[in-house]
Amino acid sequence: MDTTLILFKPDALHRGLAGRLLSRFEDKGLQIVGMRLLTLSQEMAAQHYAEHVGRPFYEGLVGFMTSSPIMALALRGPEAVTVARALMGKTFGIEAQPGTLRGDFGCSKSYNLLHGSDSPESAARELALFFPDGLEDWEPIQSPWLWDKE
Stretch of 10-18, 20-28, 93-101, 110-118 lying at the interface with ligand IDP (CB under 6 A): 110-118
Q: Got the DSSP string for 14-63?
A: HTT-HHHHHHHHHHHTPEEEEEEEEPPPHHHHHHHTGGGTTSTTHHHHHH
Q: Does 57 bind ligand IDP (CB under 6 A)?
A: yes
Closer Cβ to ligand IDP, 64 or 147, answer by number: 64
φ, ψ (nearest 5 deg) of residue 72: -105, 135
Bridge partners of 3, per DSSP, are: 76
Closer Cβ to Mg ion, 21 or 126, answer by number: 126
Judge whether 14 counts as a catalytic residue: no
How far is it, in rounded angstroms, from Cα 98 to Cα 30? 21
Closer Cβ to ligand IDP, 49 or 147, answer by number: 49
Stretch of 4-12, 17-25, 63-71, 114-122 lying at the interface with Mg ion (CB under 5 A): 114-122
Which is it for strands 70-77 and 114-116: parallel, antiparallel or unpaired? Answer: unpaired
Footprint of ligand IDP on 66-105 (CB under 6 A): 91
Which is it for strands 2-8 and 31-38: parallel, antiparallel or unpaired? Answer: unpaired
Pick one of 61, 122, 125, 147: the residue that binds ligand IDP (CB under 6 A). Answer: 61
Cβ-based neighbours of 71, under 8 Å, separated by 6 or more: 7, 8, 12, 13, 18, 35, 36, 37
Pick one of 12, 93, 103, 115: the residue that binds ligand IDP (CB under 6 A). Answer: 115
Pick one of 112, 126, 127, 130: the residue that binds ligand IDP (CB under 6 A). Answer: 112
Q: Does 47 bind ligand IDP (CB under 6 A)?
A: no
Binding site for ligand IDP (CB under 6 A): 52, 57, 61, 91, 109-110, 112, 115, 118
